[in-house]
Amino acid sequence: MVVFADLPAKLECSEHLLPTNDAQPRSKRVSKTEIVPFLSRYVLMLRATLFTSLISYVTFVTFAPRCAGQNLNWDEIFPVRKHNFGTVAVAAKTEFRFPINNTSSRPIHIRTVRASCGCTTPIIESASIGPNETSYIRARYNTDTFKGKRSANLTVVIDRPVYTEVRLRVDGYIRSDMVFHPGAVEFELVNPSEPVTKTIKVFYAGRKNWRIKKIESPRPWLVADFKELNRGRGRVDYEVSITTALGSPSGFFLDELVVLTNDSEMPRVPLRVSGQIRAPLRISPGVIALGSLERGESASKKLVVLGQAPFVIQSVTAEGWEIDVPLSTEPKRTHILQPEFTPSSNANGLRKSTLTVTTSGEKSISATAMITAEIESKK
């Protein structure tokens, strides 16, 4: 900031700068030769001050974000930056999820992801990633519209907490002589006590002696089989069946089976398999939000406990909570409960606890849900 307090007294009063007539004494006039040096000097001072301020501002804008981001370890945040799909069939559902682990103390925001090739479509699963949270960039390989060797760079543009770009890469080969229909095996929701079988067709056009030798499964409870349907004029058709075995573990699964052929150059072709095995006992809702409670105050929530076979509930417990709930002794596949939750006397602040429902009998099973509440001291 330029201060003009040191201007000569004759410039502080505006009347000295006004035009004067010849009748005024000459001693009260200010000549042009007297004013110009003062104005020139202060104009130069103002210009120098503005230039210095601009340089300071540019330096701050340029270097402050870089300094703020010095403690961000991008190798930890993006632990996987390359993936090779290998050899895949036409129309095979082929995807890979690049994890993004926010190991910093500040939120990360993804502005966009650019793909260098239309053979791959990037999908942001969650653009905002809080501290200690994980998101994914899903790379979808477009096997239905592209053939041959295909590669793509995916440029992840991050604008918070600092601006940066991270490059991911996918490679693969989409063979044009082999087709999966549909492109993946999807089981959706399966009961572990009821085996389910899904089938797909494999179409091949090329060598007369081409054949499938076997199908490798990464899970012992995913049983694969195949049979030849047609052969002739350079075409071969197969039917592949995948069955979930009894006692399959509960939860979501996403795996790749390998179709092994007698092709000497590209014998292994992945086949995507996904689904969810229903738990033998489950609680709805999975998260029980009780809101704000004072110490000694109780809250009630409706719960539904579902099983695949009739059962009797032996206990409902949660660490740090007193739970009052009437239990039926009649075996049923669905139990509707209205428990009353009271926090322990020493509870304070945000509480997250695991609620456990256990059945009775020799083959006792259990299910869990999460309790959340904000415990406040009595006013």
Query: Mean pLDDT over all residues of the chain?
Result: 84
The answer to whether residues 335 and 304 touch, using CB atoms and an 8 Å cutoff, is yes
Residue 220 near residue 229 (C-beta atoms within 8 A) = no
Architecture of domain 281-376: Sandwich (2.60)
| Matching fold, domains 184-277 and 281-376 | yes
Architecture in CATH of 184-277: Sandwich (2.60)
Q: CA 320 to CA 212: how far, in whole Å?
A: 58
Segment 36-53 mean pLDDT:
59
The helix (run of H) or strand (run of E) holding residue 174 is strand 164-181
30 vs 17, residue with greater confidence: 30
Cβ-based neighbour number of residue 34 at 10 Å? 13
Beta bridge partners of 179: 90, 203
* pTM reported for the whole predicted model: 0.62
pLDDT digits over 121-147, tens only? 999 999 999 998 999 999 999 998 999
Q: Domain limits of the chain?
A: 9-68, 74-176, 184-277, 281-376
**Could you report the per-residue pLDDT of 157-206, keeping only the tens digit for each?**
999 999 999 999 999 999 989 999 999 999 988 888 889 999 999 999 99
Q: Which fold has domain 74-176?
A: Immunoglobulin-like (2.60.40)
Strand partners, 70: none
Bridge partners for 311 per DSSP? 332
